[in-house]
Structure 1
């Protein structure tokens, strides 16, 4: 058994059953020897930028893939994703004059938590669920769905190439800011063996996660006494945590205590994903229960994950009016509690996909959506994402109607 696996306690949700443990040990050993993907200086720079967000003088736009595909991670695609991210940042800046911190959900977003570890095929065969390209293949066959540790090496290599591309060919969305503003990368810190293998020493005698400057912990893995929060608590990176509608003030207080005990601005971001129907009740109750401690974190809205619907054709989708409604309620509630609405966390594509519909009635159409290219959850296309950003910008600069 590898030293990396020995570091991971049993309280670890959403982990693959690798089965090929000897292969995993060899892969983890190789990852531990490889260079850091990002430097400690980069993580510190992002933490400083997020400190401005915490003080209410900047805004975050975090956008990109739901589940990033290896086949969609070449240089041209990375440039396209970064350009789309910067276009959203430029749009918000132009409308508000607030500086925007741009964080991509790409160059590492290769794993996804799932509600069920198994999927039953139409013929009755049961196969492991697709957990992202870092774990297994999306093709619905027993062989493709077998978790393969060597995919972790491929994830590292593609992230490394993407970072080189972002450094050498910065995106150009048409303004000077797109060239000057850095493109930070991020992903959900889901695969614990991978993250532990890429931990590196920092200048203060601690350690940082070298897989990306910004990592977040998902709603399914945010238990304060479990392994994902253990990891986040021991790294110097800025970290995020998704907060759903059932999160209590006690839950979030425990996260504040574990992840930001020194109340360091920019260290912790809470990413609210409550759904348009529940945020108007759940978020005010949460903030009221937290009281002054709510100011100890950056608050962002993820208006995507609480608003997933199913079309009459059986496809997962999201309704743009739901997304816009959750964004508006988030800003209204934050302002009512004297807090800064710090950012948007979006699943979006650089292409004109049709994975999200415009109105609720569009879900009733029984023909499949024509350009549905996501490996997992539906993403906004550029026009839809821009509409969300325009709404956020209007709410950031003035009172809601």
Structure 2
């Protein structure tokens, strides 16, 4: 059940020309050519889609979503792309982070705030210490669907539909709750709307003001080395703001200091949901998927000729493409031809996920091929997905040192090729979880994993580990650009387990 399938060529409120666009696509045509519509993907094989037992209920859910307001707006997407264009040109850094998979049960105001707060801290560390403008992109307000390696799984001798994320089914071992339910798409939309309301309030309502920087440390990390470093950084920022005020600049009222742009992202996996939230911008006539500012296509769904690339090629949102060591340079160039035929700076972010050893072997070939064609992409590292292991006790986890080593390999590769390492993509949380092993402050040991292992899917960095990684990246950027370190710590000389990247 589930997996690859074609869905009926219909769309909520679709006009006749859209139906014609879907019917005109040849099922055996690998190229993505001809007229695009928001339903043209339905004529192609759609991988990793749920097998809904009641298509009438799917139509009801799609119609309800199509009548709802957009979650994000075209102008916001254009602003993000403009920021990413600067990253692609070498003038900036993209930090993207959040849950592996959001859940309905885990939605709390404090959890949203704490993840936002840690992302603020990380971006400030990178911006102040690293000396680069930072674009903040949450893996939040939509990251509900997850690809699976098999449509079913055996649990206590019972075959169940695989859990595909709360937007599709429930993680409970109750067989009835594992059946895909399209009404959950509407529930996910409602939670996204609530999450975005909170994020917009935090970003523009004074919480993100640099004058509040001393209040950003979470209570449970106050005793860590990273908290002490951040407090010292906050002191420097406060001194800088006082100096600017003395020069006549009102830093309390200036939006540059009192608020911050913050954008949302998720994997565009569940295509009926994405289609229902795709709208035409009244000012430009372009189509935007209004479920998030930034969408990415995953390793399992970026195949040429399939439905996901067909859908994404027509929306104007900035896009990401996950790239593993199995991808060839020629394949990635063809994907870029589909998603970005005009070579628009900031349109596509290539997100490597390989593991350190595989990255050193395969990644430079892709970078050289893409750069040789003059492609204006953002080079982005996901050091999480290539480093997932399972312990003897059965916990799925990741080692902090392995994550750090993949990032080191990523920065090394770009330094050697003279290209710009544009950012990091992390599965992380503001919660005090014990899901990833290691980290110098509050080192998580294997015996600790069971104490606060809360993830619904893959293991996440906790707040201490995330902040430590941000300092390592920032000091690595300083070192590679010939600047002296702002902080001294074991390994700051360039060697050792805590050396900057």
Q: Give the shorter-chain TM-score range.
A: over 0.9
Structure 1 position 369, deviation (Å):
2.8
Aligned in 2, Cα 1:64/1:51: closer, same or farther, shift over 3 Å?
same
What TM-score results when the alignment is normalised by the length of structure 2?
Answer: 0.76
Structure 1 position 366, deviation (Å):
6.7
Structure 1 position 70, deviation (Å):
1.3
Structure 1 position 318, deviation (Å):
0.2
Partner residue in 1 for 2:264: 185
Residue deviations 1:243-273 (CA, integer Å, cap 9, x gap): 0011101111011111111111111000000
> For this pair of structures, how many residues does the alignment match?
398
- Indicate the SS of the match to 1:17: coil
1:231 aligns with 2:311: yes
Instruction: Please say if residues 96 and 424 of structure 2, whose CA atoms lie closer than 8 Å, have aligned partners that are also in contact.
Output: yes
Partner residue in 1 for 2:196: 163
| The 10-residue stretch of structure 1 (337-346 or 75-84) with the greater mean CA deviation from structure 2 | 75-84
Partner residue in 1 for 2:276: 197
Partner residue in 2 for 1:340: 420
Aligned in 2, Cα 1:222/1:179: closer, same or farther, shift over 3 Å?
farther
1:397 aligns with 2:478: yes
Structure 1 position 368, deviation (Å):
5.0
1:280 aligns with 2:360: yes
Partner residue in 2 for 1:149: 182
How far apart are the structure 2 equivalents of 1:252 and 1:178? 39
Instruction: Please say if residues 328 and 391 of structure 1, whose CA atoms lie closer than 8 Å, have aligned partners that are also in contact.
Output: no
1:112 aligns with 2:146: yes
Partner residue in 2 for 1:380: 461
Greater gyration radius:
2
What TM-score results when the alignment is normalised by the length of structure 1?
Answer: 0.94
Equivalent positions of 1:12-51 (< 5 A) are: 12-51=46-85
Residue deviations 1:91-116 (CA, integer Å, cap 9, x gap): 11121121111111111111111112
Partner residue in 2 for 1:250: 330
How far apart are the structure 2 equivalents of 1:126 and 1:92? 47
- Indicate the SS of the match to 2:412: helix
Instruction: Please say if residues 265 and 293 of structure 2, whose CA atoms lie closer than 8 Å, have aligned partners that are also in contact.
Output: yes
How far apart are the structure 1 equivalents of 2:190 and 2:446? 41
Long gaps (5+) in structure 1: none
How far apart are the structure 2 equivalents of 1:103 and 1:396? 20
How far apart are the structure 2 equivalents of 1:217 and 1:294? 22
1:138 aligns with 2:145: no
Instruction: Please say if residues 145 and 168 of structure 2, whose CA atoms lie closer than 8 Å, have aligned partners that are also in contact.
Output: yes
Residue deviations 1:274-302 (CA, integer Å, cap 9, x gap): 11231110112222343423642101000
Residue deviations 1:311-349 (CA, integer Å, cap 9, x gap): 111110000000000000001101211211111100001
